[in-house]
Amino acid sequence: PHRPLHGLRALDVGCGGGLLSESLARLGASVCAVDPSFQVAKAAREHSQHHPLTKTIDYRGGTSVEELARELTAIGDDDDSVHVATDNTNTSAHLFDLVCVLEVVEHATDPQSLLDSACRLLRPGGLLFVSTLNRTAKSYILAI
């Protein structure tokens, strides 16, 4: 099958039931998917086990993008202290070529922190995809 994302690492922020995660995996990406809900990520993980191309998705329930950014960009020193990497030389293996934040920003308590963390997880030259609803009364009533 045609797998245009083969060799790329993708992050699905607020993965929910895993629809985007599974699509990215089927297109060849190595996918990590985070969601604040343990139950939702568990259901997504269980669903992904039904297809050979989606079995390897790394679902992380109970995890925010901020927590993932701290985890993947922290480097231990000899004195056991932890600091944030200021360059990508030591952490690029843990960063992502694609970061998707779809229909999540409107639910965040701190949208700026969410987007800052998503950007910290991008490799140099990586792509960040963000979509959100318009902030209108109608969209709030119908979707949020």
6-19 pLDDT, tens digit each: 999 999 999 999 99
Q: Are β-strands 58-61 and 74-76 bridged in parallel, bridged antiparallel, or unpaired?
A: unpaired
CB 95 within 8 A of CB 88: yes
CB 9 within 8 A of CB 32: yes
Q: What is the pLDDT of residues 113-130, one digit of tens each?
A: 999 999 999 999 999 999
Checking if the pLDDT of 59 tops 50, the result is: yes
Instruction: Tell me if residue 8 falls in helix, strand or coil.
Output: coil
Per-residue confidence (pLDDT) for residue 75, from 0 to 100: 53
Q: What is the pLDDT of residues 87-103, one digit of tens each?
A: 444 556 789 999 999 99
Per-residue confidence (pLDDT) for residue 143, from 0 to 100: 65
Mean pLDDT over 35-59 rounds to 96
Least confident of 31-35, 43-47, 81-85, 91-95: 81-85
Per-residue confidence (pLDDT) for residue 91, from 0 to 100: 53
Per-residue confidence (pLDDT) for residue 76, from 0 to 100: 43
